[in-house]
Chain A
Amino acid sequence: MKPFDYIRPERLGQALSEGAKPGSAYLAGGTNLLDLMKTGAARPERLVDITRLPGLDRWEWGKDGGLRIGAMVRNSDAAHDPDIAAAFPAMAEALLSGASGQLRNAATMGGNVMQQTRCHFFADPFSPCNRRAPGAGCAAQGSDRRGFAVLGGSDACIATHPSDLCVALAALDAVVEIAGPEGLRETPLTDFHLLPGTGPEGHTRLAPGELIIALRLPAAAAGFRHHARYLKLRDRTSFAFALVSATALLRIEDGVIAEARLALGGVAPKPWRATAAEALLQGARPDADSFARAAEAALQGAAGHDAKITLAKRLAARALTQAARGTPARVPALPGSVHSGETAHV
């Protein structure tokens, strides 16, 4: 690991001025950054530890039922809180489908939004990677595309965004609160991550020195709580990144879909909100035909791996079907698993 200086500010203003200095990286839970520093994929000269900044490790409910979650809230605390899980069950299921118990105790909500792709060429400093070393090329282009983007990729990069949480946040219309040298600003989560285009090295809209301080879930997002699922296909049922995942949210009134939200994970370089599918579902009956048409629309234009595209369509339809049946009373024993509720194995 490359040597670095370590700074642990106790005030936000101090953290921001330290973070703006060249070569700085913010350290929160460290589960992604330290890992990349060990491989040499991340080489910060200064770590600015934000774990002691006041006020970032809690959440608060708005009077209208919206929720503001501080960036340093640990994934496990957000997922296990009964009120959060009741209002935003798909987010709780997404969180609990990710990583392991140990990692969720360390990882933070802000850090999850900031996490880097798990493309193994990105993590390996001996492979060409435009995201890590602009202009070096992309080793993934010539490989089996199963683990890579089928939507939103480019000749420069086809890495997928690995987050489960962000797929739920995208569907829930979450807002990212950002502090920086110029003050506070905010952006919708769906605009926060960038598609690679010709320059994949900047994967978010954060300017140097800027820091996520909170995530906000609007009150309207709790309106989907009765019909919400997060499903995730992966190579083993637990502790694996998504091959394909889907958040499906429905509001059903008088047997008709009043409003639908659908977001996909594992298929694109950013959490993929499927707005065309949502438009098709509005006013439709919550049945197999509607969901199949929505799934087709969600994968419109996808290319690169036919079997993965088929899987994604089926998972999207399945997530919508399960959401229509109703949110489980409790996050299933195997969160995100298509086997939940069945005896998958004994």
Chain B
Amino acid sequence: MSHTLNLTINGTAQEVTLDDPRVTLLDLLRERLHLTGTKKGCDRGQCGACTVLVNGRRMNACLALALSHDGAEITTIEGLAQGGELHPVQAAFIEHDGMQCGYCTPGQIMSAVGLIAEAQAGADPERIREGMSGNICRCAAYAGITAAVLQATETLTEEAERA
């Protein structure tokens, strides 16, 4: 039996028909919609490489059954930059060298966007490290990642105050 679901992905409404209910949100994005920015690391919810925003909240796409998220708004790393301008979190990761090999980076950035939106960590490096613990970096670029999230938090807070 095939199943149809509707998703808004990076602002674009899409209707997807699945011939198998086993498809995760991660495999749907990568294998069917060819949005390969979202990475598959462990596929078990342990590494965070697959982090996307579902209705604005960060989640592991590998442990999300696509059908269960029918109607959701999904934001992936491909949807962050607007009009050719990097998202402040992306810019901060570059500025602070928050990566080495780069494989975990899309997940790190999506997780940071989600973390900042949750507004629980503020400018406390300890709370940022704790809040980012669902994203493993095999190259251990953690110092740069923490600095990037701190800076992006400041930038986004200033932007919100101006708006």
B100 contacts chain A at the CB level, 8 A cutoff: no
**Which residue in chain A gives the minimum CB-CB distance to B70?**
A8
Q: Please pick, from B20, B54, B70, B126, the residue contacting A333 in the complex, using a CB distance under 8 A.
A: B126
B68 contacts chain A at the CB level, 8 A cutoff: yes
Find out whether the CB atom of A4 lies under 8 angstroms from the CB atom of B21: yes
CA of A333 to CA of B48, assembled, Å: 21
**Which residue in chain A gives the minimum CB-CB distance to B1?**
A5
Find out whether the CB atom of B134 lies under 8 angstroms from the CB atom of A239: yes
B44 contacts chain A at the CB level, 8 A cutoff: yes
Write out, one digit per residue, whether chain A residues 40-55 have a CB within 8 A of any chain B CB (1) or not (0): 0000000101010000
Task: Pick out which of these stretches binds chain A: B6-14, B58-66, B78-86, B87-95.
Answer: B58-66
Which residues of the other chain, B, contact A103 by a CB distance below 8 angstroms? 45, 60, 63, 134
B4 to chain A, nearest CB (A): 12
B138 contacts chain A at the CB level, 8 A cutoff: no
CA of A106 to CA of B68, assembled, Å: 12
CA of A57 to CA of B108, assembled, Å: 28
Write out, one digit per residue, whether chain A residues 232-265 have a CB within 8 A of any chain B CB (1) or not (0): 0000001100000000000000000000000000
Size bracket, chain B contacts: 35 or more
Q: Please pick, from B22, B54, B118, the residue contacting A4 in the complex, using a CB distance under 8 A.
A: B22
Find out whether the CB atom of B20 lies under 8 angstroms from the CB atom of A3: yes
CA of A103 to CA of B50, assembled, Å: 12
A105 contacts chain B at the CB level, 8 A cutoff: yes
Q: Known interface pairs A100-B133, A105-B57. Does A38 touch B65 (Cβ–Cβ under 8 Å)?
A: no
A105 to chain B, nearest CB (A): 5
Find out whether the CB atom of B45 lies under 8 angstroms from the CB atom of A101: no
Find out whether the CB atom of A333 lies under 8 angstroms from the CB atom of B134: no
Size bracket, chain A contacts: 20 to 34
Interface hub of A3, A31, A101 (most chain B Cβ within 10 A): A101
Q: Known interface pairs A35-B45, A101-B58, A105-B58. Does A333 touch B130 (Cβ–Cβ under 8 Å)?
A: yes
Q: Please pick, from A27, A99, A239, A333, the residue contacting B124 in the complex, using a CB distance under 8 A.
A: A333
Q: Known interface pairs A5-B21, A47-B21, A103-B60. Does A334 touch B130 (Cβ–Cβ under 8 Å)?
A: yes
Q: Please pick, from B65, B114, B129, the residue contacting A102 in the complex, using a CB distance under 8 A.
A: B114
Find out whether the CB atom of A334 lies under 8 angstroms from the CB atom of B3: no
Which residues of the other chain, A, contact B59 by a CB distance below 8 angstroms? 102, 105-106
Q: Please pick, from B3, B54, B60, B111, the residue contacting A6 in the complex, using a CB distance under 8 A.
A: B3
Find out whether the CB atom of B43 lies under 8 angstroms from the CB atom of A80: no
CA of A5 to CA of B118, assembled, Å: 35
Q: Known interface pairs A5-B21, A8-B68. Does A102 touch B126 (Cβ–Cβ under 8 Å)?
A: no
Write out, one digit per residue, whether chain A residues 41-79 have a CB within 8 A of any chain B CB (1) or not (0): 000000101010000000000000000000000001000
Q: Which of B108-163 touch A at CB < 8 Å? A: 111, 114-115, 118, 120, 124, 126-127, 129-135
Which residues of the other chain, A, contact B111 by a CB distance below 8 angstroms? 101-102
Find out whether the CB atom of A27 lies under 8 angstroms from the CB atom of B44: no
**Which residue in chain B gives the minimum CB-CB distance to A344?**
B126
B131 to chain A, nearest CB (A): 6
CA of A160 to CA of B42, assembled, Å: 24
Find out whether the CB atom of B126 lies under 8 angstroms from the CB atom of A334: yes
B51 contacts chain A at the CB level, 8 A cutoff: yes
Q: Which of A73-108 touch B at CB < 8 Å? A: 76, 80, 99-103, 105-106
Q: Which of B28-63 touch A at CB < 8 Å? A: 43-45, 48, 51, 54, 57-60, 63
Given A30-B68, A101-B118, A103-B134, 18 other A-B residues pairs in contact with their CB atoms under 8 A? A6-B3, A6-B21, A27-B65, A31-B63, A34-B24, A34-B64, A35-B45, A35-B63, A101-B133, A101-B134, A102-B48, A103-B45, A105-B58, A105-B59, A238-B130, A333-B126, A333-B130, A335-B130
Q: Can you spell out 5 A-B residue pairs with CB atoms less than 8 angstroms apart?
A: A47-B65, A101-B115, A101-B118, A239-B133, A333-B130
Which residues on B are within 8 Å of A, measured CB to CB? 1, 3, 20-22, 24, 43-45, 48, 51, 54, 57-60, 63-65, 67-68, 70, 111, 114-115, 118, 120, 124, 126-127, 129-135
